[in-house]
Chain A
Amino acid sequence: MNAQATAPLAADLTFDLADQPLRDLNAALHKAGVETNARRWHVLNPNGRHAVAVGINAPLEIEIAGHVGYYCAGMNQQARVTIQGNAGVGVAENMMGGFVHVKGDASQAAGATAHGGMLLIDGNAGARCGISMKGVDIIVKGSIGHMSAFMGQAGSLIVFGDAGDALGDSLYEAKLFVRGAVKSLGADCIEKDMRDEHKALLAEKLAAAGLAGTVDVSEFKRYGSARRLYNFHIDNVDAY
């Protein structure tokens, strides 16, 4: 998998949303099975429509030529979806697998609750990036907004730029790596040592995104859960 190789491929199928209904696109994508010969889909004129290319469960390559609205590539499994523009709220929300690449910026709640796969955002991501993430790997080449990785349970969030307020609030076990400044940490999120195993993990994720060697992994700081909110604390018994 190489995220850099994004020169437009010859499409097997072209869907122009200026003429064809969005429901038809998503229905056709859902019908495409693992055995389909039409692997490369080109989607034209998305014009900010919501729920473009959601719920794909086949190893397709989808290229979307323009900005999309809410929940693009949500629930994705297996497909590789490239958005040649900005994505609205909740891009790749609840993704299970595959690869989603936003060439521009993503709005809030990018990769929310996603279980697997990889979400790569070339620009910035808004607030609540990776909220309740459950195993997805998210790489943001720009900066992320406030309350990112809120209640993140598993997976990794890798940020080349800065993070907004309350990073990793109420975090479980998601791994956070930020190269730039963190405005503030959320409750129970702390900075942790960046050991060799973490550098290796970071390098592995970057390589999987086709970004090996583009940044120095030793420039990142690691953040994780202090694990103080996991269990009921006996000192709080007086509250009852």
Chain B
Amino acid sequence: MCGIVGIFLKDPALEPQLGQMLSSMLCVMTDRGPDSAGFAVYGTGRPDHVKLSLRAAPGYDFEDLARGVSVTAGGVPGLSVRATHAVIEIPAASETAVRAALAAHHPEVAVVGSGARMEIFKEVGLPSEVAQRFDLSKMSGTHGIGHTRMATESAVTTAGAHPFSTGADQCLVHNGSLSNHNDLRRNLTREGLTFATQNDSEVAAGYLTWRMRQGASLGEALKAGLEDLDGFYTFVVGTESGFGVLRDPIACKPAVMAETDQYVAFGSEYRALVDLPGIAKAKVFEPEPATVYFWDRAA
């Protein structure tokens, strides 16, 4: 069992409250997942720049790291440190070189996500502690997704916490368990993907990355997943412009959605949504199994 949540704002006036809303949703889902928690928030971004979400051991000197990559990045990168995580903002053109420099000179630092606007934070511990550690309630943004984990398929580690990044500005949270993830991991590794954990959800994220790399849209990649992913899942996927939801064909894992003029929200249970503004008048419904749902800012 795990808890997953997501919120997508239609009304820009709510953007300063996004972190507060996501934090409340995440904390209610503690009894579905007390082992670890994580979230992705889509905030502001600078044109032609990319944000790298980094994770290191407690007390790590991210400022020193930022200075270290300044030559590669063509200037000292924008830096925002939150506990064990930091987000550095670099010119998009320098991303490949900076990633190579990090891999070569700072193996102690993990890149957990990247994108123009996406920032990812995840840690072992109760969701309320994790949200507080990263000061989630003060974050603003257009949309975000979150996860509370009750570990089943792999160890309780920060690396096994969700969300898993699936590509630039893309990430995934998963409630369920996949039964063919070892086979899929072998096949995807052969296709050139790398995996940091033995976690089944990371394989699902990698699978979507691989599909999209081959030219599929996110919706097409999710649809293809219905054929190739064996097991139980409800996925919530974040992208630069929106978020998507997919449940397995037998709808093994719960899902509730609420929509108002101001937002679309997802929760494993309705309880996660009760503190949202105007929820009493929201259209509350259960997403259908094997059906791709997608909300997009461009639409």
Residues of A within 8 A of B (CB): 47-49, 66-67, 69-70, 85-86, 88-89, 104-105, 107-108, 126-127, 145-147
In the complex with contacts A67-B284, A126-B286, A145-B289, A108-B274 CB distance below 8 A: no
Docked complex Cα distance between A67 and B282 (Å)? 11
B270 within 8 A of A: yes
Q: How far is the CB of B174 from chain A (nearest CB, A)?
A: 19
Q: Which residues of A contact B280 (CB under 8 A)?
A: 66
Contact of B271 among A69, A86, A147 (CB under 8 A): A69
Q: What would 8 more interface pairs be, CB under 8 Å, given A48-B269, A88-B254, A126-B286?
A: A48-B270, A48-B271, A69-B270, A70-B269, A89-B254, A105-B285, A105-B286, A145-B289
**Chain B count of residues within 8 A CB distance of the other chain:** 16
> CB-defined interface of B262-292 with A at 8 Å, one 1/0 digit per residue?
0000000111111000001000111011000
Docked complex Cα distance between A66 and B285 (Å)? 14
Determine if A104 and B251 form an interchain contact, defined as CB atoms under 8 angstroms apart: no
17 A-B pairs with CB atoms under 8 Å apart are A47-B271, A48-B269, A48-B270, A67-B270, A67-B284, A69-B270, A69-B271, A85-B284, A86-B284, A88-B254, A88-B256, A104-B284, A107-B254, A108-B251, A146-B251, A146-B289, A147-B250
Determine if B251 and A145 form an interchain contact, defined as CB atoms under 8 angstroms apart: yes
The 4 closest A-B pairs by CB, nearest first: A48-B270, A48-B271, A47-B274, A127-B251
Determine if B269 and A69 form an interchain contact, defined as CB atoms under 8 angstroms apart: yes
Determine if A86 and B254 form an interchain contact, defined as CB atoms under 8 angstroms apart: no
Determine if B271 and A49 form an interchain contact, defined as CB atoms under 8 angstroms apart: yes
Q: How far is the CB of A27 from chain B (nearest CB, A)?
A: 21
Q: Which residues of A contact B251 (CB under 8 A)?
A: 108, 126-127, 145-146
Q: How far is the CB of B288 from chain A (nearest CB, A)?
A: 8
Docked complex Cα distance between A104 and B254 (Å)? 17
Determine if B274 and A48 form an interchain contact, defined as CB atoms under 8 angstroms apart: yes
